[in-house]
Chains A and B, each alone.
Chain A
Amino acid sequence: MLMNLFKFKGGVKPPSNKLQSNHLPIAQAPMPSRLVVPLHQSIGGTPQPIVAAGDHVLKGQKIGEADGWISAAVHAPTSGTVLEVAMHVRPHPSGLDSLCVVIEPDGKDEWITRTPIDHKAAAPADVFHHLQQCGIVGLGGAGFPAHGKLTPSKGVAMDELIINGAECEPFITCDDLLMRERADEVVRGIAVFRDLLQPKRVLIGIEDNKPEAIAAMQAAVDAQNEPFSVVAVPTLYPAGGAKQLIRVLTGKEVPGSMRSTADMGVQVFNVGTAYSAWRAVAHGEPLISRILTITGNVHAPRNYEVLIGTPMGELLALAQPHPDTDGILMGGPMMGFLVPNPQVPVVKTTNCLIAHDDRLFPPKAPEMPCIRCGSCAQVCPHELQPFEMYWFSRAKNFGKTQEYNIFDCIECGCCSYVCPSRIPLVQYFRFAKSEIWAREREKNAADAAKSRFEFKQVREEREKAEKAEKLAKAAAAQAAKKAAEAAAAANTENATAPTAETVTTPAVADPAAAAVNPEKEAKRATIEAAMARAKAQREAVQPKNTESLTPEQQKAAAEIEARRVAAHLIEPEPVASAPASEKPE
């Protein structure tokens, strides 16, 4: 396919390491003993569990309901029994737990009724709903729900639909094998996307180190007589980044600040997403399995079709890891991360497992100071100045990092790859970004607290004024009948009783009511008992959360307490409890 290709600046050429795993056909991984399906597998809302421990589920049965528009449903990968819905570690660099559905397969692999959809006849909204209910998300890495990307931007014509088969990360070959073996269905999936988006042209970008995949895709496109262009793009990491592939194929540069590429009239889908979308549309199959590469420090690297939720350790065992394997890397070596333990399950965005050892991935030499050589700036595909961003991230000067456009960084790792001082640049940028986000959250919380505090002050003022007005009126009315003592009592009450309800309670009627109501009396007794208990507790141990304090800390706490008292923020203990004992009466 002859076509005028564009170049993006920067990029690196790490050893591709793809030959180990791309010579064998895709194999079916055996049924694992247990499936752990995390509910949050895509960008957006966290799906809510709709099964409970003990439920029997069928293969493809929905177990997690999509939460909001940008969210996708989650399904049982096989038939079996739900053991628990609990917190389990999920493949995430934090190594933290999240809510997962644990399923014990019954071995029957019994499908639920599948309902295909005729996407040409159905309304687009119904197709989107179908894709969301089938849990179709981007399989390229980020996991953005596919239906959320299938609407053109308002006022922007959809020029190009780009199908990403570049697979630029070293070691990974799952998209390569998918295109070789299932090109036909991939192309049908692309046609579905085409029908929904109505782009002017469809471009399938594949790195030129995958000639078999290019040939297979071209053959499938020809066989189905589709006007799609299969384009071989030069092998250069990160050509498979969405914005880089758009640049190479169309010459358009989507700014980092632009959230959706559709605003530039382009949309990008991974080949795997197209394949699973076709399975969902034509066969009603939800996304419960995917193809992934198992490679690295293993005897038999290969691609497997794997159920979502399979523990990674069991999969790695299929490829017979060498004994010196000391970890599992999820994703490619440029952007992936080490998972905390072998029980971590495969999720929709797991495209590769790499057995880690020190021979393949030598331990990093200690970080040297930056010598400002500028290599990082030369390879940055987003034309940033990583060494400047590093400088300010390191100094925690986050405002400056934003001036150098840190949020345009796609964390591709090119800068770290070439750095002669072996500075973990990407790590510094991730740190800076998450600190900036955290501060943003804190700032918002503080602003909200401030406005609520100010509102409360205004409200209290208003209530006080209203109360004074009401009392003044009452006093004026009563002055005629009774003496001024009632008004005086009301005024003192007003000074101590803080809320409306104490005032509105008819104080005169109360003792009588209490007397005739033994139930209330009993309740009062229990409350008093509770208070006595609390008081005893309080006397036995000073404030609960200050049990094991050093004398200095106690002193500090006491000082704070004293300052609070001085500021009249809280009244001293006995006074504080006094109105409470009066109130129930």
Chain B
Amino acid sequence: MDILLAIAIMALGAVVLGAALGFAAIKFKVEGDPLVEKIEAILPQTQCGQCGFPGCKPYAEAIVNGEEINKCPPGGTEGVQRLADLLGREVKPLDAEEKPKSVAIIDENTCIGCTLCIQACPVDAIVGAAKQMHTIIGQQCTGCELCLPPCPVECIHMEVIQETIDNWKWKYPVVEMRVETTDKAAPMKEAA
């Protein structure tokens, strides 16, 4: 009798909880895959395809389906780190060399106005018309390098973004700070 009661109680509990879970699944259904969005937020949106997927979103979807997280060179080691943190996966070394952030520059004397780079640019950062000289809107260029291969005259090259006062960052404090100051302070002595 006791056993039957116990079974009945457990069964009832299972039914109630199952119903609650089922209700929650319908009531709080999440549209879309929030994980893909979270991954996409970490990816640099260069749309460069260096990962082997045609854009950042396809790569994000592929990561959810088990693709490696170390295939995004523009995201760099830090990007891999953040993906690993998000997904609880292991940090792997980047599957390519890490490059400094760059922008594409068109050599305007060589450009023949073929519009091929315009078509290749995933973010519409190149302006120009057929047989007219093209130019790159530096602020919108993501540095994906997709415009380099189509150019028939190789007039596009990448330029590393230089540090200026506007994008300069304070450095992480290092414990040993005397070494650097002394050698740079040397010219002071002459002046003083």
Q: Which residues of A contact B114 (CB under 8 A)?
A: 580, 583
Does A450 touch B at the CB level, under 8 Å? yes
For window 524-571 of A, CB contacts with B under 8 Å fall at 527, 530-531, 533-534, 537-538, 543-545, 553, 556-557, 559-560, 563-564, 566-570
Chain A 428-465 per-residue mask, 1 if CB under 8 angstroms from chain B, else 0: 10110111011001100111111011011000000000
Chain A 349-380 per-residue mask, 1 if CB under 8 angstroms from chain B, else 0: 00000010000000110110000000000000
User: How many A residues touch the partner, as a band?
Assistant: 35 or more
Does A326 touch B at the CB level, under 8 Å? yes
Check A327/B185 contact, CB under 8 A, given A431-B170, A453-B47.
yes
Q: Is the CB of A438 within 8 A of B169?
A: yes
Does A338 touch B at the CB level, under 8 Å? yes
Q: Is the CB of B97 within 8 A of A576?
A: no
Q: Is the CB of B189 within 8 A of A326?
A: yes
Q: Is the CB of B185 within 8 A of A566?
A: no
Does B5 touch A at the CB level, under 8 Å? no
Q: How many angstroms from the CA of A567 to the CA of B57 in the assembled complex?
A: 13
Nearest chain B CB to A537's CB is how many angstroms away?
Answer: 6
Among A342, A544, A567, residue most surrounded by chain B Cβ atoms (within 10 Å):
A567
Smallest Cβ-Cβ distance to A432: which chain B residue: B170
Nearest chain B CB to A281's CB is how many angstroms away?
Answer: 31
For window 122-142 of B, CB contacts with A under 8 Å fall at 122-125, 129-131, 140, 142
Q: Which residues of A contact B131 (CB under 8 A)?
A: 584
Contact of B73 among A449, A499, A560, A584 (CB under 8 A): A560
Q: How many angstroms from the CA of A516 to the CA of B160 in the assembled complex?
A: 46
Q: Which residues of B contact A501 (CB under 8 A)?
A: 115, 129-130
Check A576/B150 contact, CB under 8 A, given A326-B188, A341-B187, A445-B142.
yes
Q: Is the CB of B54 within 8 A of A567?
A: yes
Tell me whether chain A's interface is mostly helix, strand or loop, or mixed: helix
Nearest chain A CB to B90's CB is how many angstroms away?
Answer: 19
Q: Is the CB of B192 within 8 A of A534?
A: no
Nearest chain A CB to B85's CB is how many angstroms away?
Answer: 11
Q: Is the CB of A567 within 8 A of B49?
A: yes
Contact of A580 among B152, B176, B185 (CB under 8 A): B152
Does B29 touch A at the CB level, under 8 Å? no
Q: Is the CB of A534 within 8 A of B152?
A: yes
Q: Is the CB of B170 within 8 A of A430?
A: yes
Chain B 163-191 per-residue mask, 1 if CB under 8 angstroms from chain A, else 0: 11101111111011110011011011101
Does A348 touch B at the CB level, under 8 Å? no
Q: Is the CB of A570 within 8 A of B112?
A: no
Q: How many angstroms from the CA of A556 to the CA of B52 in the assembled complex?
A: 12
Among B51, B157, B165, residue most surrounded by chain A Cβ atoms (within 10 Å):
B165
Smallest Cβ-Cβ distance to A342: which chain B residue: B191
Q: Which residues of A contact B148 (CB under 8 A)?
A: 543
Q: Which residues of B contact A570 (CB under 8 A)?
A: 49, 120, 146, 149-150
Does B108 touch A at the CB level, under 8 Å? no
Q: Which residues of B contact A316 (CB under 8 A)?
A: 191-192
Check A92/B165 contact, CB under 8 A, given A424-B173, A498-B119.
yes
Q: Is the CB of B188 within 8 A of A448?
A: no
Q: Is the CB of B152 within 8 A of A531?
A: yes
Check A563/B169 contact, CB under 8 A, given A342-B187, A449-B140.
no
Smallest Cβ-Cβ distance to A396: which chain B residue: B172
For window 62-82 of B, CB contacts with A under 8 Å fall at 71, 73
Does A325 touch B at the CB level, under 8 Å? yes
Q: Is the CB of A455 within 8 A of B124?
A: yes
Q: Is the CB of A431 within 8 A of B172?
A: yes
Q: Is the CB of B97 within 8 A of A553?
A: yes
Nearest chain B CB to A557's CB is how many angstroms away?
Answer: 7
Smallest Cβ-Cβ distance to A87: which chain B residue: B164
Q: Is the CB of B192 within 8 A of A342?
A: yes
Q: How many angstroms from the CA of A364 to the CA of B170 in the assembled complex?
A: 19
Q: Is the CB of A313 within 8 A of B192?
A: yes
Q: Is the CB of A527 within 8 A of B168?
A: no
Contact of A363 among B130, B168, B178 (CB under 8 A): B178
Smallest Cβ-Cβ distance to A364: which chain B residue: B177
Among B53, B125, B169, residue most surrounded by chain A Cβ atoms (within 10 Å):
B169
Nearest chain B CB to A564's CB is how many angstroms away?
Answer: 5
Among B115, B153, B168, B181, residue most surrounded by chain A Cβ atoms (within 10 Å):
B153
Does A478 touch B at the CB level, under 8 Å? no
Q: Is the CB of A449 within 8 A of B192?
A: no
Contact of A433 among B73, B129, B170, B178 (CB under 8 A): B170
Q: Is the CB of A340 within 8 A of B192?
A: no
Q: Which residues of B contact A530 (CB under 8 A)?
A: 110, 112, 152-153
Q: Is the CB of B47 within 8 A of A321?
A: no
Q: How many angstroms from the CA of A556 to the CA of B99 in the assembled complex?
A: 13
Q: How many angstroms from the CA of A273 to the CA of B178 in the assembled complex?
A: 37
Q: Is the CB of B154 within 8 A of A534?
A: yes
Q: Is the CB of A531 within 8 A of B56?
A: no
Chain A 323-356 per-residue mask, 1 if CB under 8 angstroms from chain B, else 0: 1011110000000001011100000000000010
Interface residues of A (CB under 8 A from B): 40, 90, 92-94, 96, 98, 313, 316-317, 321, 323, 325-328, 338, 340-342, 355, 363-364, 366-367, 424, 427-428, 430-431, 433-435, 437-438, 441-442, 445-450, 452-453, 455-456, 498-499, 501, 527, 530-531, 533-534, 537-538, 543-545, 553, 556-557, 559-560, 563-564, 566-570, 573, 576-577, 579-581, 583-584
Q: Which 6 A-B pairs have the closest CB atoms?
A: A563-B52, A342-B191, A446-B45, A430-B170, A569-B49, A313-B191
Listed A/B pairs (5) with beta-carbon separation below 8 Å: A94-B163, A326-B192, A327-B185, A341-B187, A570-B149
Known: A340-B184, A447-B45, A567-B49. 13 other contacts (CB 8 A): A98-B164, A98-B165, A445-B142, A452-B140, A501-B115, A501-B130, A534-B152, A537-B154, A538-B154, A553-B97, A566-B52, A569-B146, A576-B150
